[in-house]
Amino acid sequence: MDEHTLAEVERAGTQFNAVTAMTVDRANALTAESVERRDSGQPPRRLEGIPFAIKDVIDLVGYPTTMGSNVRSDAPAANSAPVVDRLEAAGAIPVAKTNCQEYSYGILGDESAFGRVVNPVDAALCTAGSSSGSAALVAAGVVQLALGTDTAGSVRVPAACQGVLGFKPTFGVVPVDGVFPLSQSFDTVGLFASDLGVLTAAFDVIAGAGSGDGRGSSAHTIDVSLFADDGDRARDLLKSVPELTITSANGPALDELLDDLAPIYDYIRLYEAFEVHRDLFAERAADYQPGVAKKVEAGRGLEQAEYRTQLDALAELRERSLSVFGGTDLLLTPAIDGPVVRWDEIDSGTAAKFMRYSMPFNVLGWPALTIPLPGAGAGEGPQAVQLVGRPGSDRDLLAFASRLG
């Protein structure tokens, strides 16, 4: 990795409070390996030389994983997470660990031991979280690619607030080993990128072999259901795809499904997060960020029997959702409910608005891509839509997105 790129990442990391550690030693070692491969005549790998950033809940060998928290060990990770290994094996170069909401627990991105990340689009605007630093480095233009995690929108919502692409794959397609968990029933490693081609290549790499091939949806009439119309600019995205049928996804069956989502998500997430933090929290509750501590505490006393009941309800809901959406290929939704809010405008309802259109697809486990919209007016802030596919249709979704205007 050239010194200029590393200097630019460090500069942006400081300017936007987006970096917890520069990974210069690792970057230099892998750059030397890349140069040696080139000089020996080996063909370039799929992501050769592309710098990427890593949310600091994901292990990178030789560097601490801070989780954005004072409640941590500063011992370096003994191994990298498989997603990192796979990107490196494809030639990508890790350049930084990124600041995030403490332990990924919160959609606003307002609580980290390192302070909150600054939005490169407008410092007055909320970054969202939890993967705020990864989004910021892509938004600042210093990396093309970054890793985040998404449990209720923690990749897609920061992508919407900071004007970049953000992708949550189908639940279970990408390994989460070496990633500190929030709620294992919903946790997904996701990607930020400035270019859809890079994002698609990176998804292929981290999903690995056997993750399913696209069915070639471009070869037949595509049905896209609009789950709330996001205006003319959203519809303009679809004009470049002629073989398109647009229908409305609003209806009693969908409304009933969405009504059933939130309580299942809330119980399972609260229970699982408390179990993850039980021992740490018992010893160091006072060292957590205040809002995160309240969230962890909210899971205390939940019953295992009810948790198992909710897991059964989740499995039933995921099965039922297939019949509700079975007649359509893709959904197009707003990315968030309303505009990107300013930090000083956050109120008790902001988190719910941020998660309104993202959390349901963590519950269902479906792949979803945040796509920034061009042409926002002065003072409007970033605007984005979310493209959602059926489970396992990740490659079809990304292929369709590549055709949008």
User: Does the active-site annotation cover 73?
Assistant: no
Tokens encoding 240: 């470049």
Is-contact 350 108, C-beta < 8 A? yes
User: Does the active-site annotation cover 183?
Assistant: no
Residue 116, in any domain of the structure: yes
How close are the terminal C-alpha atoms of the chain, in Å?
A: 33
Residue 281, in any domain of the structure: no
The pLDDT tens digits of the residues spanning 335-360 come to 999 999 999 999 999 999 999 999 99
Q: What is the pLDDT of residue 335?
A: 95
Q: What is the pLDDT of residue 381?
A: 87
| Alpha-carbon span 354 to 303, nearest angstrom | 29
pLDDT > 70? residue 405: no
Residue 32, in any domain of the structure: yes
Q: What is the CATH number of the domain that holds 159?
A: 3.90.1300.10
Select which of 34, 80, 154, 225 is catalytic. Answer: 154
C-alpha pair distances (Å), 396 with each of 188, 220, 386, 389, 391: 19, 12, 15, 8, 11
Confidence of residue 374 (pLDDT cuts 50, 70, 90): confident
Q: Which residues contact 350 (CB under 8 A, 6 or more apart)?
A: 108, 126, 341
Select which of 34, 80, 130, 132 is catalytic. Answer: 130
User: Does the active-site annotation cover 321?
Assistant: no
Q: What is the pLDDT of residue 218?
A: 45
Closest by CA to 12, choosing from 135, 129, 111, 163, is 135
Q: Which domain holds residue 144?
A: 3-207
C-alpha pair distances (Å), 94 with each of 23, 122, 128, 336, 396: 7, 26, 23, 30, 28
**Helix, strand, coil shares, percent, the chain, to 5:** 40, 15, 45
| Alpha-carbon span 356 to 169, nearest angstrom | 18
Based on the structure, what is the number of domains in the chain?
Answer: 1
Residue 237, in any domain of the structure: no
The pLDDT tens digits of the residues spanning 115-149 come to 999 999 999 999 999 999 999 999 999 999 999 99
Residue 355, in any domain of the structure: no
Residue 187, in any domain of the structure: yes
C-alpha pair distances (Å), 386 with each of 237, 264, 401: 12, 22, 10
Residue 90, in any domain of the structure: yes
pLDDT > 50? residue 326: yes
The pLDDT tens digits of the residues spanning 52-97 come to 999 999 999 999 999 999 999 999 999 999 999 999 999 999 999 9
Q: What is the pLDDT of residue 359?
A: 96
Select which of 34, 55, 104, 321 is catalytic. Answer: 55
Residue 388, in any domain of the structure: no
